[in-house]
Amino acid sequence: MDTTRSQGLFARAQVLMPGGVNSPVRAFKSVGGEPFFANRSEGAWLIDVDGNRYIDYIGSWGPMVVGHNHPAVLDAVMRTARDGLSFGVPNALEVTMAETITRLVPSCEMVRMVNSGTEATLSAIRLARGATGRSAIVKFEGCYHGHGDSFLVKAGSGALTLGVPTSPGVPAALADLTLTLPYNDFDAATALFVARGDTLAAMIIEPVVGNANCLPPRDGYLQHLRELCTHHGTLLIFDEVMTGFRVALGGAQARYGVVPELTTFGKIIGGGMPVGCYGGRRDLLSQIAPSGPIYQAGTLSGNPVAMAAGLAVLELVQAPGFHERLERQTHRLCDGLEDAARDAGVAFSTQRVGGMFGLFFNTGPVDTYDQAMACDRERFNRFFHAMLSRGVYLAPSAFEAGFISAAHDDAVIDATLDAARAAFRDAS
């Protein structure tokens, strides 16, 4: 592939932006090489500035569940943009979005729109602390909740050890308020709550981990966490920025039958525009300003163009059979990749939930952070570049989930598997 224009743009960008990017994983540092620069998109495809076409399994990291540049979404954006890009006063689309989310996700009796998933998780934690009068929170290894200080923390040698910052700039005093548990470990969660449960304001979790590749919960695990939180008066927060409206119409909480106090959303509810949201019980959300004393604000929150894009997507995903078709294509892709790897004699496994999937260069199943970290990263990197050279774009990291869209039809999956059969030989 000719990538001359992308190379030139990356050279210019590195002088002006840290690492040449505005979000770290885009720089390809994990897999090596240089990123391509997108020019446009359509359906399941990205087209770069040099005219190269790629089957896209990132979908802007999750929002493009109906495919890139869907005509209904594009029409909604253009129609709304003609009336203004931002008002600074309430608009009708905010109300429709709130009505839609609260109807589709019954645990959310009220919602507050924000501008990113990070804003949503930060705000949910502040609400939990303010509502409970407690300061400590619990997060999980491998779960990413944005770049807020409280979330850039890794526990010490044991589950009960005080957290330590994993990024310069995070105060140690704040890290002390964040405890970290191993995902899918029943006993560790129980031990932590026995020791500290009455001091914990909230437990926040990706119900399906999407930032240590794709790790589904073990049977009964989310239910176990729900019971622990209920017993100790700790608020359970589901970070459904990735899973919301993707793994099921009502998100992971509908798929697994677990009801959190608070939920955060992003990605799909903006249809590709910057957006976030947190919601939950009425008695909790009523404590947010101006109804209550817990402060949170945002100039562009509820932006009409973002609301229009998100509502168009949410209308499309409510079509009968949408998620069943999405999941069927995810299984078709993952089963086909496992078959191709087996034929090439490569140790390889997948995980999949709804329209999310993970690729692991080891024998499965993989459902813990430590198992994900033990996978063969170098072989993944070779596979990534072998697929990219054949026009298939996977997440440029061995520790990120992939995403299917409604535009990934049989022909697209077949083309992907054709590329994979050759790529596994290159990676072996």
pLDDT confidence of residue 172 = 82
Q: 48, 54, 56, 144: which one is catalytic?
A: 144
267 in active site: yes
Q: Which domains does the chain have, with CATH numbers?
A: 4-69+320-427 (3.90.1150.10), 71-317 (3.40.640.10)
Q: 48, 56, 239, 367: which one is catalytic?
A: 239
Q: Is 251 within 8 Å of 314 (Cβ atoms)?
A: no
Separation between Cα atoms, residue 316 and residue 72, nearest integer Å: 9
Helix axes 410-427, 377-389, angle to 10 degrees: 130
Q: 48, 56, 57, 267: which one is catalytic?
A: 267
Q: Are strands 53-56 and 392-393 parallel, antiparallel or unpaired?
A: parallel
List, edge to edge, every strand of the sheet that includes 402-403.
349-353, 356-360, 402-403
Q: Which residues contact 359 (CB under 8 A, 6 or more apart)?
A: 213, 337, 348, 350, 380, 383, 394, 398, 402
Give, in order, the Cα–Cα distances in Å from 26 to each of 314, 400, 405.
Answer: 27, 12, 20
| Number of alpha carbons in the 13 Å side-chain half-sphere of residue 114 | 23
Q: Are strands 153-154 and 164-165 parallel, antiparallel or unpaired?
A: antiparallel
Separation between Cα atoms, residue 402 and residue 74, nearest integer Å: 24
Q: From first to last of its 428 residues, what are the pLDDT tens digits of the chain?
A: 899 999 999 999 999 999 999 999 999 999 999 999 999 999 999 999 999 999 999 999 999 999 999 999 999 999 999 999 999 999 999 999 999 999 999 999 999 999 999 999 999 999 999 999 999 999 998 898 988 888 887 643 333 334 556 788 888 888 889 999 999 999 999 999 999 999 999 999 999 999 889 999 999 999 999 999 999 999 999 999 999 999 999 999 999 999 999 999 999 999 999 999 999 999 999 999 999 999 999 999 999 999 999 999 999 999 999 999 999 999 999 999 999 999 999 999 999 999 999 999 998 789 999 999 999 999 999 999 999 999 999 999 999 999 999 999 999 999 999 999 999 998 77
pLDDT confidence of residue 205 = 97
Helix axes 322-344, 304-317, angle to 10 degrees: 80
Give, in order, the Cα–Cα distances in Å from 248 to each of 201, 226, 254, 276, 356.
Answer: 28, 20, 7, 18, 11
pLDDT confidence of residue 428 = 76
pLDDT confidence of residue 173 = 82
Separation between Cα atoms, residue 188 and residue 6, nearest integer Å: 47
Separation between Cα atoms, residue 353 and residue 217, nearest integer Å: 10
| Number of alpha carbons in the 13 Å side-chain half-sphere of residue 11 | 6
pLDDT confidence of residue 163 = 54
Residue 187, judged by CB atoms within 10 A of its CB (0-12, 13-18, 19+), counts as: exposed
57 in active site: no
Q: Which residues contact 365 (CB under 8 A, 6 or more apart)?
A: 349, 351
Separation between Cα atoms, residue 126 and residue 114, nearest integer Å: 14
255 is written with which tokens? 């798929």
Give, in order, the Cα–Cα distances in Å from 235 to each of 30, 131, 228, 293, 404.
Answer: 35, 9, 10, 19, 32
393 in active site: no
Q: Is 190 within 8 Å of 116 (Cβ atoms)?
A: no
